[in-house]
Structures are given as structure tokens and as C-alpha cells.
Amino acid sequence: MASSVTLYNVECMDCGQVFTPAGHSPLWWQAKQRADRGFLDALRIRWKSCGCIQEVENPNAPFRVFGYDDLCEDFNIPCNSFVAAIKSFRKLRPMSVVFITGVSDVVAHRLQYGL
């Protein structure tokens, strides 16, 4: 007689993948404990537990505009010119939390606070 193992879903908060961990694995036990506490949704984990790797597009770009929008979706935009970085920053600023790298502190402060 084969023993049946209850299946639990796990969701990665970084890549969005939903999967069922192998029975009696560490993620399976975490999901089981969560279900035993009365939660009906999937156990949410981070990329280190999932194993997904988020690649950075054009990691050597001199300027980078990054942050998150009003739906908490992350963005990371590499820019090869100062003008492209400023345009991206100003376009995203009204509806997002935006940061910029590759510019001086004075420029970043002026962009952030409009002074």
C-alpha cells in the first residue's frame, strides 16, 4: 500500500513561478506548517529558496533608472546616455518610486526633489 503525500503549492515572489515541492522536502514542510495554521493560499518564498536568478540587463550601462511602480512591479532600465536616463527618470517619476545611478549627487537631488 503506497502512502499518499498531500501536495502544497509554493509561489516565488520574485519570478512568479508556482510549483509543488517534493514531498517531505524543506519547502514542503514549510508549506505544510502554513496550511496547518489555517492559511489557504500558497507559501510565498524569495528567489534564494526558489533558485531563480534575475539577470541584470546590460550590467555595464553607465546610467541606470530603477525602482517600482504603483503595483509594486520592479523595473531596472539601463541607459547608455545621460539624456536617455533623464528622459526615463522623468517619464516614470509621476507614477513610480524612481532612483537613478551614474549621475552626480547634485543631479540626483535635483531630479528627486525638483530644486
**Could you list the residue range(s) of the whole structural domain that residue 20 is in?**
10-50
Q: What is the pLDDT of residues 18-77, one digit of tens each?
A: 999 998 999 999 999 999 999 999 999 988 888 777 677 888 899 999 999 988 888 999
Sheet-wide strand order for 10-12: 18-19, 10-12, 43-45
Output the pLDDT for position 51: 77
Residue 90 lies in a domain: yes
Same domain for 73 and 102: yes
Output the pLDDT for position 57: 80
Alpha helices in the chain (DSSP H): 26-36, 47-50, 82-92, 105-113
Name which of 75, 83, 80, 91 is nearest 107 in CA terms: 83
Name which of 103, 104, 79 is nearest 91 in CA terms: 79
Query: pTM, whole model, 2 decimals?
Result: 0.55
Output the pLDDT for position 10: 94
Output the pLDDT for position 1: 47
Residue 4 lies in a domain: no
Same domain for 107 and 74: yes
